[in-house]
Homo-oligomer: A and B are copies of this chain.
Amino acid sequence: MRALMLLSSALLLAAAPPTKPKTPTEIVAAAPANAWREIPADDVLVIELRNGGRIVIQLAPQFAPVHVANIRALAKGGWWTGASIYRVQDNYVVQWGNNESDKPLPKDVVAKPPAEYHRALKGLTVKPLGYADDYAPAAGFASGWPIGYDPKAGTANLTHCYGYVGVGRDLSPDTGTGGELYAVIGHAPRALDRNIAIVGRVIDGIERMSSLPRGTEALGFYKEASQNVPISSVRLASEIPAAERPIYQVMDTMGPTFANYLRVKANRKDDFFIRPAGGVDLCSVNVPVRRKPA
């Protein structure tokens, strides 16, 4: 009986809530190795700015395969050498590429890709957000990506969260090749969801884009070409010698660490927070991504 009591005591202690609730950042820092998935080197696009800054994008071939294949071919063909960032619109997007020049596309680039604005829900394993979404019947996470989805229609789409990268296009039916890309640098412009192809997200260096001077022309285009921010190269990580290649990991969105992170994101009770929200919107969750530890 005495042993049983001690055991119960120990269980009680083990089950007792921690005295100081963890922050989302602390949960990510303490995540075990098996909470992470390595991002394939063919899905990592490395942009080097002429000013020395590097911006890294994770591509999403699961959602926009033809556009992502185009982007890989554009990178391998050196199409962005001499390209630049030419549009910075506050609370909206940064855009780069060759800005309507008639630079010939490398072979293997599909000039008129299909409208990859959503995909089949089938084939995705979904962790539901658990809270309402204003832009889709439901929201959640699949393969490490935030998605809006429609169980009735059987469709799923990537969402315009901060740092997400889409394909610049003219009016429909043009879908853009992937040569002109933009990244979101403000409050999520979710009305663009399902109206444009999202091909990935910035996973390193977004601040090199978001802190650029805003363009003063309509839609944030720079007035003078001299204001453009020159890009010196855009490569896939798989093109970079292994010794120098940056390796990134994304948190497994089906695992228990992510579930805990999501729960705490919606219920902040750490020191600063007096009233937990009891909810969170999809674009405030920020799926954790990190450089692979040495």
**Chain A interface extent, by class:** 35 or more
In the bound complex, what is the Cα–Cα distance between A162 and B184 (angstroms)?
13
Is A9 among interface residues, defined by CB-CB distance under 8 A? no
Smallest CB gap from A129: residue in B: B134
Residues of B within 8 A of A276 (CB): 191
CB of A89, distance to nearest CB on chain B (Å): 9
Is A288 among interface residues, defined by CB-CB distance under 8 A? no
Q: Mark A257-286, 1 if CB is under 8 A from B, else 0.
A: 000000001001001111111011101100
In the bound complex, what is the Cα–Cα distance between A90 and B94 (angstroms)?
15
Looking at the complex, which one of B186, B211, B271 makes contact with A171 (CB distance below 8 Å)? B271
Residues of B within 8 A of A268 (CB): 191
Residues of B within 8 A of A213 (CB): 211
In the bound complex, what is the Cα–Cα distance between A275 and B277 (angstroms)?
31
Looking at the complex, which one of B117, B195, B273, B283 makes contact with A272 (CB distance below 8 Å)? B195
Smallest CB gap from A90: residue in B: B207
Is A127 among interface residues, defined by CB-CB distance under 8 A? no
In the bound complex, what is the Cα–Cα distance between A87 and B276 (angstroms)?
25
Q: How many copies make up the complex?
A: 2
Looking at the complex, which one of B131, B186, B207, B275 makes contact with A162 (CB distance below 8 Å)? B186
CB of A277, distance to nearest CB on chain B (Å): 5
B132 contacts A161, C-beta separation under 8 Å? no
Looking at the complex, which one of B195, B273, B281 makes contact with A281 (CB distance below 8 Å)? B281
Q: Mark A117-131, 1 if CB is under 8 A from B, else 0.
A: 100000000000001
Known: A90-B210, A91-B162, A135-B277. 19 other contacts (CB 8 A): A90-B207, A91-B206, A131-B134, A132-B134, A134-B277, A161-B187, A162-B187, A172-B274, A186-B210, A187-B187, A187-B188, A187-B284, A188-B284, A189-B284, A191-B273, A193-B277, A210-B210, A211-B212, A211-B214
The 8 closest A-B pairs by CB, nearest first: A132-B132, A134-B279, A90-B207, A207-B214, A162-B187, A134-B281, A194-B275, A131-B134
